[in-house]
């Protein structure tokens, strides 16, 4: 993410417009047993977006994070058993994973003109996962 932002930064500044969206994980805000490296990296994406938000505001560049808990992906389906999937999804308020379309819709809004005043934010797509004690 850092190198992508670095590569695009000069053009966004010159154009006086830009949108940065870092996609991060629940591990970046809640941690996880045995996930210190992963959780730290995901938390770092949040910090990176907040720094870019402050530095980019004068150039009309916004930077935000999308925080994802459980998402319907091929990797998700292949990595876990049906029993584990049901156990994880049971811990969300909606009792299901986010669809790729729901995630895409949130990102589409963040990069739109309608979200021009939103910067340094963490858009929570955890589906209520963070409302429960796990």
Catalytic positions: 38
Reduced to 3 DSSP states, what percent helix, strand and coil does the chain have, rounded to the nearest 5? 55, 15, 30
* Beta-strand runs (E) in 1-134: 18-25, 61-68, 122-125
Q: Angle at CA 22, nearest 5°, toward 41 and 99?
A: 105
How far is it, in rounded angstroms, from Cα 64 to Cα 23?
9
């Amino acid at each position: 993410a850092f190198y992508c932002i670095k590569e695009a930064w000069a053009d966004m500044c010159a154009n006086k417009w830009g949108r940065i969206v870092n996609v991060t994980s629940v591990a970046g805000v809640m941690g996880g047993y045995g996930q210190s490296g992963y959780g730290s990296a995901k938390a770092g994406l949040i910090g990176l977006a907040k720094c870019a938000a402050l530095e980019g505001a004068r150039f009309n560049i916004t930077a935000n994070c999308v925080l994802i808990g459980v998402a319907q992906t091929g990797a998700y389906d292949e990595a876990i058993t049906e029993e584990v999937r049901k156990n994880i999804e049971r811990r969300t308020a909606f009792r299901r994973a986010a669809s790729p379309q729901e995630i895409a819709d949130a990102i589409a809004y963040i990069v739109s003109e309608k979200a021009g005043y939103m910067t340094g934010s963490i858009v929570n797509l955890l589906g209520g996962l963070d409302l429960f004690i796990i």
